Structure 1
């Protein structure tokens, strides 16, 4: 009986450590989403402990009449589902700036926001991570950039290293 318990314990410990090996210390890539008109964001993830990480995203948009930049930081908690599958949730916030200009009209402003995030990811055996998440954003300074709330659904593709 002791042998069965010992073998079972070692097997479960090995599976748990294997699942965590799929989460790498760093991941860099793109987060493709609505992001309130920003489109793709450059996304960086840094593992802080076994089950926590920091995600930093930078989005920008430049067109003929409209320019904007937005930085987001999210603290995330990770839970393993099975093998390379994880789900995560987090809280954070960010800031940004936008400007709109026409020949006889110019307007610009800064904005700050609080954000939450929930998502699912798969870490392949190769250095690739794919994720799908939902990030609601609550704009705090009531400017003309947005209607105080912005839901954002995105697909992330990152290189793990």
Structure 2
């Protein structure tokens, strides 16, 4: 990792540090090959839970997760009660028990930014890495508005309203 930001923690096999100076996303990265994510989560569950609430999101990378079953095992290690995909708002395929593909639309179709609608939210939502598509689109990760300073939320809300600043709110 090359952010230049001091690690939040390191246990010799895994290192964690904020992804950027606004510490909403904590990057947790295996520093040696073969670290099983489900085992590591179980051994560090309390610390990960605290870091999730402190930062808002965790980006787990570099762990030994080779298939959807291993991804499901890691998700269950953090949150044992995974949800079924109900009220099917988008086409998806179940690839392992309660592990689903991302939205399956053809490359010529646009997915609206707030498309990932969940009628009931798992705690926390878990999103597997997926290979990039030929257009180079990526899955954006956004900081939830409730965790942003009020003035930033106000400014974001005003951008869509035609108003120019908080004085008109």
Q: One fold, TM greater than 0.5?
A: no
- What TM bracket, shorter-length normalisation? under 0.3
TM-score, reference length from structure 2: 0.21
Task: Tell me which of the two structures has the higher relative contact order, counting C-alpha pairs closer than 8 angstroms and 6 or more residues apart.
Answer: 1
More helix by share: 2
Write 1 or 2 for the structure with the bigger share of strand.
1
* The structure with more radius of gyration: 1
